[in-house]
Amino acid sequence: MTNKVQITYYGMEGEGTNLKEARKDASLKIEAALEGRYTPILLTLRGEQILCWRTPTGGWQYAQLSHHPIHDYEPLWGTMCGGGDRDEVEAIARNHLAQITWGLKLSEAEEEEILAFVAKKDRREMKYWIEWQRRYDALRAQGLSDIEAHSKASGL
């Protein structure tokens, strides 16, 4: 059984069969962490904001920064999501922002704005989500319970 040398080299952990290999491992990890872009992305839609950023060790992440006046809560750092690449996290954040700014009383133009905001690959899913919300709301208005409306809106 071979012993492994574990070190922290300029803040990065490295491992190897000897000190030289452990330093090399840490150096390669430092190099990988510093490659690519770190420019943050600020997404804004209908009064809501989400900030996407990259960390050297955690990949791309996002958090909600503010609130929309139709919701009754204080500004916050809400949902945190991360670990993916830049495009993946931005698409997830756009979808999240579209969902929290969507409402049943939106005009067709406002709804189109929301759909255009979502990543192209996610628009069909967002349309389905909107249609489901409308079905659910109509079923609740008919007096169905939450569970019944959820089941029927889902086609169960």
- For 50, the domain range is 41-153
Confidence band for 69, pLDDT divided at 50, 70 and 90: low
Shared-domain flag, residues 56 and 116: yes
Q: How far apart are CA 47 and CA 40, in angstroms?
A: 19
Q: How far apart are CA 51 and CA 61, in angstroms?
A: 8
pTM of the model: 0.75
Shared-domain flag, residues 25 and 55: no
DSSP of 57-93: TTEEEEEE----TTS-S------EEEEE-HHHHHHHH
Residue pair 49/43 in contact (Cβ under 8 Å)? The answer is yes
Residue where the block lists tokens 């905001």: 117
Shared-domain flag, residues 59 and 117: yes
Confidence band for 1, pLDDT divided at 50, 70 and 90: low
Shared-domain flag, residues 75 and 28: no
